A and B are shown apart, each in its own frame.
Chain A
């Protein structure tokens, strides 16, 4: 039972990281109609920004600010220099251009920082473990990540549903042409949305730093799952991104955690291990296929 609780927390923590990435990706695609493969690169930039400042100054607060600033500024530059030219183009060209950005940014990071993964020290206040219930220690940092993620989700909910800009964002996701026809400066809105997406990706990246290794290529590893989240949740929907991320995060973790033991009670160990490893990595894609079959627009689609 305690194991199940621990695994669910792990799932939520993974889901939160996916949500931060998926929220930006789904808005950019829903509102601007741009498939941004380089979203993972913004995650990478956030992680590197924080890692470098953390190494130089030793301050985690400064590292957070640097990570956020680096990804937001990079996002604005990318929007201004590349993405802005792509709004009217078709998806193939967008995919090619943003894929080019991935290569460009990965190679740039290699030249600047080398291929050796960077090490980010965990802030001392968060480096221990707390007993969530007696006998089950859980890393404090992971709890903090969950808390930050849920706060951001709540903040985004308020922003999208209760503010004037949020109203435009919602309108942009469903009736893009109408918003433009009403005289809203859609370009400014686009830049804002892209910047916000970059900021969230950067936040996910800088929080991943002390947990995982900060290295070239880390963005692409998580980007694929992020696309799965967006497909499951529905394009353009923040709510969809949240629930999609939680579904993917928790399912993936629980399958990995419990499927081997489950299958082992049914067949011989070696067969069970091979099958479980295969099935658990397939699991979330099976869910995605199922969602596409039943609700092709995703569970909480913003598009009509």
Chain B
């Protein structure tokens, strides 16, 4: 009787411990850019991520989670400080959220070195994709170069021969131009790096006019893209020289701000609101219900949503226990979730292998400019650095 009582007691206390364990939510450190010209990007990423958590009732993969959001203010130093605080004070072991590659460059190594896990919803600089790849570093979005490789291929397919290319002078900008050139078969007649804090592009416009290219490729994310497109129009270049860009230079917010002036711009992307798959329909419906039809999600929101789903798959595999990163990795790498983009899997360097689509800005039936998907430019595309990664 006594023994039975003891066994029962142990069983009970074990049960209670499990219950207590289940109730303690896994904290996810979400460091993102909420202020400055890229502020809307971080806001979209945060809202996309939270949407996935909400749809599961505050859980990811059946594990209760708590998303702790902080604004890095578009400053690498601030991102690093937040990571430090999250790691030491809040004992967070799982991170995501960073938008810009320069902030990722300063912040991610600290997170990885502390033995924590980072899952990127956006920035994926080339230096983390090859030799420096890491078991605890995952990317759900794309490798930086890939975005612009799709634009290079698109420009080649469209038959352009002379390109003028420009991007901000930071890691993602360098990756952008390298990526474009890797797949553009024509000649590059002008190549420029602008400043990341630059909003007036008048000197660049003059140089583009002078170089007489037959296509312009530009990577200017966030507020920079709005300013660039409008000044391109004001300089009278819009009708004269066509433009081929990748997704960041023509997201839903930029399109809304630029309006009719953007009609005719060619771009390429991995996701759009009009993708016809069940996961995307679920995402679009939930987004519209929560944020209204007026606020179209940018692709940043879709990536963060996918990131949450990818993390959910990982957490499910280890039942919320982040102590064993190898087990978490085994679960993550299966990519056991339905991406809103359709086909999705991880490559050996833990970056995505996915399809890229050509698109154009066109007017819809009501005369509003929208992004219209035209067809695939690349299938099952992996990045150029995966071969150097030995995990």
A interface with B by C-beta (< 8 Å): 3, 6-7, 10-11, 13-14, 106, 110, 114-117, 119, 122, 127, 129, 137, 139, 141-142, 211-213, 215-218, 221, 253, 256-257, 260, 269, 273-274, 276-278, 281
1/0 per residue, CB under 8 A from A, across B174-209: the answer is 000000000000000001111101011011101101
- Please state if B207 and A3 are interface contacts (CB–CB under 8 Å): yes
Which of chain A's residues have a CB closer than 8 A to the CB of B253? Answer: 116-117
Chain B: which residue is nearest A274 at the CB level? B193
The answer to whether B226 has its CB under 8 Å from any CB of chain A is yes
- Which 6 pairs from chain A and chain B are nearest by CB? A277-B193, A115-B39, A10-B202, A217-B36, A277-B169, A212-B199
Which of chain B's residues have a CB closer than 8 A to the CB of A117? Answer: 37, 40, 223, 226, 253, 257
Offer 20 A-B interface pairs, CB within 8 angstroms, sorted by A: A3-B206, A6-B209, A10-B203, A13-B202, A14-B200, A116-B40, A116-B257, A117-B37, A117-B223, A117-B253, A119-B257, A119-B258, A119-B259, A139-B236, A142-B202, A213-B230, A215-B36, A215-B223, A216-B36, A253-B202
Q: How far is the CB of A258 from chain B (nearest CB, A)?
A: 9
Contact of B191 among A6, A215, A218, A269 (CB under 8 A): A269
Chain A: which residue is nearest B173 at the CB level? A277
Contact A7:B192 (CB < 8 A) given known A213-B37, A213-B226, A221-B197: no
- Please state if B199 and A217 are interface contacts (CB–CB under 8 Å): no
The answer to whether B265 has its CB under 8 Å from any CB of chain A is no
Tell me the bound Cα distance from A300 to B192 in angstroms: 35
Tell me the bound Cα distance from A53 to B203 in angstroms: 30
Q: How far is the CB of B172 from chain A (nearest CB, A)?
A: 14
The answer to whether B325 has its CB under 8 Å from any CB of chain A is no
Which of chain A's residues have a CB closer than 8 A to the CB of B207? Answer: 3, 257
Q: How far is the CB of A181 from chain B (nearest CB, A)?
A: 45
- Please state if A257 and B223 are interface contacts (CB–CB under 8 Å): no
Tell me the bound Cα distance from A215 to B257 in angstroms: 12
Which of chain A's residues have a CB closer than 8 A to the CB of B206? Answer: 3, 6-7, 10, 257
- Please state if B236 and A115 are interface contacts (CB–CB under 8 Å): no
Contact A218:B199 (CB < 8 A) given known A6-B206, A117-B223, A129-B235: yes
The answer to whether B35 has its CB under 8 Å from any CB of chain A is yes
Contact of A7 among B203, B257, B259 (CB under 8 A): B203
- Please state if B235 and A139 are interface contacts (CB–CB under 8 Å): yes
The answer to whether B234 has its CB under 8 Å from any CB of chain A is yes
A-B contact sample (6 more), CB < 8 A, given A14-B200, A257-B203, A273-B193: A3-B206, A119-B258, A129-B236, A211-B200, A211-B234, A277-B169
Which of chain A's residues have a CB closer than 8 A to the CB of B210? Answer: 3
Please tell me the size bucket of the interface on B.
35 or more
Contact A212:B40 (CB < 8 A) given known A115-B34, A257-B207: no
Tell me the bound Cα distance from A122 to B230 in angstroms: 10
Of A6, A142, A218, most buried by chain B (CB within 10 Å of CB) is A6
Q: How far is the CB of A125 from chain B (nearest CB, A)?
A: 14
Chain B: which residue is nearest A261 at the CB level? B207
Q: How far is the CB of B49 from chain A (nearest CB, A)?
A: 16
- Please state if B235 and A213 are interface contacts (CB–CB under 8 Å): no
Tell me the bound Cα distance from A14 to B257 in angstroms: 23
Chain A: which residue is nearest B226 at the CB level? A213
Q: How far is the CB of A37 from chain B (nearest CB, A)?
A: 15
Which of chain B's residues have a CB closer than 8 A to the CB of A211? Answer: 200, 227, 230-231, 234
Tell me the bound Cα distance from A212 to B234 in angstroms: 11
Q: How far is the CB of A85 from chain B (nearest CB, A)?
A: 27
- Please state if A212 and B227 are interface contacts (CB–CB under 8 Å): yes
Contact A260:B35 (CB < 8 A) given known A10-B203, A13-B202, A117-B226: no
Tell me the bound Cα distance from A6 to B209 in angstroms: 11
Contact of A14 among B34, B74, B194, B202 (CB under 8 A): B202
Tell me the bound Cα distance from A212 to B230 in angstroms: 8
- Please state if A115 and B43 are interface contacts (CB–CB under 8 Å): yes
Chain B: which residue is nearest A120 at the CB level? B230
Which of chain A's residues have a CB closer than 8 A to the CB of B204? Answer: 256
Chain B: which residue is nearest A122 at the CB level? B234
Of A3, A10, A116, A253, most buried by chain B (CB within 10 Å of CB) is A116
Tell me the bound Cα distance from A220 to B256 in angstroms: 25
Which of chain B's residues have a CB closer than 8 A to the CB of A119? Answer: 226, 257-259
Which of chain A's residues have a CB closer than 8 A to the CB of B234? Answer: 122, 127, 129, 139, 141-142, 211
- Please state if A217 and B35 are interface contacts (CB–CB under 8 Å): yes
Q: How far is the CB of A255 from chain B (nearest CB, A)?
A: 9
Which of chain B's residues have a CB closer than 8 A to the CB of A221? Answer: 197, 199
Which of chain A's residues have a CB closer than 8 A to the CB of B40? Answer: 114-117
- Please state if B236 and A137 are interface contacts (CB–CB under 8 Å): yes
Chain A: which residue is nearest B73 at the CB level? A217
Of B191, B197, B227, B234, most buried by chain A (CB within 10 Å of CB) is B234
Chain A: which residue is nearest B295 at the CB level? A116
Tell me the bound Cα distance from A253 to B207 in angstroms: 11
Contact A217:B236 (CB < 8 A) given known A260-B192, A281-B169: no
Contact of B223 among A110, A114, A213, A260 (CB under 8 A): A213
Contact A106:B236 (CB < 8 A) given known A211-B231, A256-B203: no
